[in-house]
Amino acid sequence: MTKPNLLSGMQPSAGSLHLGNYLGALVNWAGMQDDYNAYYVIVDLHAITSPQKPAELRTNSRRTAAQYIAAGIDVTKSALFVQSHVPAHAQLAWVLNCITGFGEASRMTQFKDKSQKAGADSASVGLFTYPILQAADILLYQPKAVPVGEDQRQHIELTRDLAMRFNARFGDTFTIPEAVILKETAKIYDLQNPTAKMSKSTADPKGLVNIMDDNATILKKIKSAVTDTEGIIKFDREAKAGVSNLLGIYSAISGRSIESIEGEFEGAGYGVLKAEVANVVIAAIEPIRERTQELMSDQNELDRLLAEGADKANEVAEATLAKVYDAIGFLKAAK
């Protein structure tokens, strides 16, 4: 039996992924590669919806790719590629722009948030059509599953609406994809502000553990994590956000249940818990960081792997785009 397709994407907008990206998304992506024919796209076209310095964008695209490979994306099983290497993304996005309502696009909450932050005059039209480009990313690969975080649910709903609309108007063309929303327990919080999710845009860098941080930095950040004054190691997201986050991180990395970890640390102080969490985090991240550095030191090889990924992606994407162009009535160019 052939495996169903899967697609997901990540922005190359930072020099390092953080622990939340790793435990919340990447571990799951790596785990799905055997059951799905997976396409993982580094969305550089999306990245330029907010201003990027060209040299940084280039480096961050490579670094993002290197970290995904280092963390378990196996390029012999899955296609890992850069969005701008596959022209069909921009081409299909145009077609989808033309079947999306202005009001429909205006209702996207991520656009509303981001454009408010940027200020009405500096938000670009590209930011407005961001979700439609995302729909194109997805629909080109006819995936059944799109693993994403909860914040992407609305974009996947729009993608489904556009796919159904296109199919109804122009004939069956697209598979209707399903969001696979990663579970809440995999959500990692900021170490300094443990009611907010860990995010690269945090106010205090001490709250954020990066995959590219060295061991001493990771240890220091975890040791200075905010806890409480009760002195009891117990999971309670409301009353004990800091301790619960440490337990959540431990559980996500070790695969053990929260109860068994609570049992292990019964009667122990927060210092002991932090030291042990730092241990498991470092044990998980150190090999990824080292492998990333290795991959980054041979840029030609990394670029070659991405070119292979783009070849696999282009084959599928071009076939879907050809169907779309034909369905809407574009003339085929004579050979």
Active site residues: 114, 197, 200
Strands 37-42 and 5-10: parallel
Segment 265 to 304, residues that bind ligand AMP, using CB under 6 A: none
Q: Is 21 in the site for ligand AMP (CB under 6 A)?
A: yes
Residue 108-147 contact track with ligand AMP, rule CB under 6 A, x = bound: ----------------------------------------
188 binds ligand AMP (CB under 6 A): yes
User: CA-CA distance, 317 to 89, in Å (whole number)?
Assistant: 8
42 lies in the site for ligand TRP, by CB under 6 A: no
- Smallest gap from Cβ 135 to ligand TRP, in A, equals 8
Q: H or E segment at 13?
A: none
Measured from the CB atom, the residue of 11 and 314 that comes closer to ligand TRP is 11
Which regions of the chain does DSSP assign to beta strands (E)?
A: 5-10, 37-42, 79-82, 145-148, 178-181
Give the span between the Cα atoms of 262 and 56, in whole angstroms: 43
Q: Which is nearer to ligand TRP, 179 or 191 (CB)?
A: 179
Q: Establish if 182 lies at the interface with ligand TRP (CB under 6 A).
A: no
Compute, in degrees rounded to 10, the torsion defined by CA atoms 278, 283, 289, 292: -150
Which of the residues 197 through 216 are near ligand AMP (CB under 6 A)? 197-199
Q: Does 108 bind ligand TRP (CB under 6 A)?
A: no
> Judged by CB under 6 A, which stretch of 17-25, 128-136, 207-215, 325-333 contacts ligand AMP?
17-25
Cβ 317 vs Cβ 89: under 8 Å? yes
Q: If you search the block for the tokens 């290197």, which residue do you land on?
A: 66
What would the two tokens of residue 261 be? 């970890």
Q: Assess contact for 229 and 259: CB atoms under 8 A.
A: no
324, interface contact from ligand AMP, ligand TRP, none, CB < 5-8 Å by kind = none
Beta carbon nearer to ligand AMP, 198 or 305: 198
Place of tokens 């030191």: 297
Answer yes or no whether residue 134 interacts with ligand TRP by CB under 6 A.
yes
Cβ-based nearer residue to ligand TRP, 91 or 279? 91
Find out whether 131 and 104 touch, Cβ atoms under 8 Å. Answer: no
Q: Which of 95, 7, 29, 4 has the alpha carbon at shortest distance from 313?
A: 7
Point out which residues bind ligand AMP (CB under 6 A).
Answer: 10-11, 20-21, 24-25, 148-149, 186-188, 197-199
